[in-house]
Amino acid sequence: MEELAKVFSPAKINLFFAVTGLRQDGYHDILSANCILNFGDEITIFRTPNGCDEIICDKPFLNRKNNTLITALDVFRKKTGLEQYFSIQLKKFIPHAGGFGGGSSNAAVLLCAINEIYGNILTQKELIDLSKTIGADCPCFIYNIPNLTTGIGDVCTPMDGKVISALRNYSLSIFKPAFGVNTKMAYEILRKSFQNLYLAEKEANRRLFMLQDAIISEQISLPLYNTFSEIFFSEHENFCELHFKMKNTGINMMLTGSGSGCFCLSHKSLEYTNNTFESMIRQYCGESTFIEHTSFVANNPNALSL
Please state, in angstroms and rounded to a whole number, the distance separating the CA atoms of residues 200 and 16: 14
Instruction: Please determine, for residue 145, whether its predicted confidence score (pLDDT) is greater than 90.
Output: no
Cβ–Cβ < 8 Å for 39, 128:
no
Q: Are strands 155-158 and 147-150 parallel, antiparallel or unpaired?
A: antiparallel
In this structure, what DSSP letter does residue 143 have?
S
* First and final C-alpha spacing in the chain: 20
Nearest C-alpha neighbor of 137 from the set 9, 284, 12: 12
Give the span between the Cα atoms of 63 and 48, in whole angstroms: 20
For residue 268, what are the CA distances in angstroms to 132, 177, 248, 264, 280? 37, 25, 16, 12, 18
pLDDT band at 299 (very low <50, low <70, confident <90, very high): low
Q: CB of 280 within 8 A of CB of 264?
A: no
- Report the distance separating Cα 252 and Cα 270, nearest Å: 12
Answer whether 0.95 is exceeded by the pTM. no
The radius of gyration of the chain from alpha carbons, rounded to an integer in Å, stands at: 19
pLDDT band of residue 208 (cuts 50, 70, 90) is very high
91 DSSP 8-state letter: E
The CB density around residue 59, as the number of other CB atoms within 10 Å, is: 13
* Catalytic option among 29, 53, 137, 154: 137
Beta 54-57 vs 85-91: how paired, if at all? parallel
What gap in Å lies between CA 198 and CA 282, rounded to an integer? Answer: 32
Q: What is the pLDDT of residue 303?
A: 34
Assess whether 160 carries a catalytic annotation: no
Which of 12, 92, 132, 176 does the annotation list as catalytic?
12
Query: In this structure, which amino acid lies at residue 219?
Result: Q
Q: Is 74 a catalytic residue?
A: no
How far is residue 133's CA from residue 73's CA, in Å, rounded to a whole number?
12
> How high does pLDDT run on average in the chain?
93
Say yes or no: do domains 2-158 and 161-294 share a fold. no
Name the amino acid, one letter, at 117: I
Backbone angles phi, psi at 122, to 5 degrees: -105, 145
| The residue type at 4 | L
Helix (H, G, I), strand (E, B) or coil at 106: helix
Q: What percent of the chain shows pLDDT beyond 90?
A: 86
Any idea which architecture 2-158 has in CATH?
2-Layer Sandwich (3.30)
Question: For the chain, what are the domain ranges?
Answer: 2-158, 161-294
d(CA 257, CA 227): 9
At the top level of CATH, which class does the domain 161-294 belong to? Answer: alpha beta
Q: 3-state DSSP call for residue 132?
A: helix
Q: What is the spatial distance between Cα 13 and Cα 262, in angstroms, rounded to a whole number?
A: 8
Q: What is the pLDDT of residues 64-76, one digit of tens each?
A: 677 999 999 999 9
pLDDT confidence bin for 272, thresholds 50/70/90: confident
Report pLDDT for 276. 86
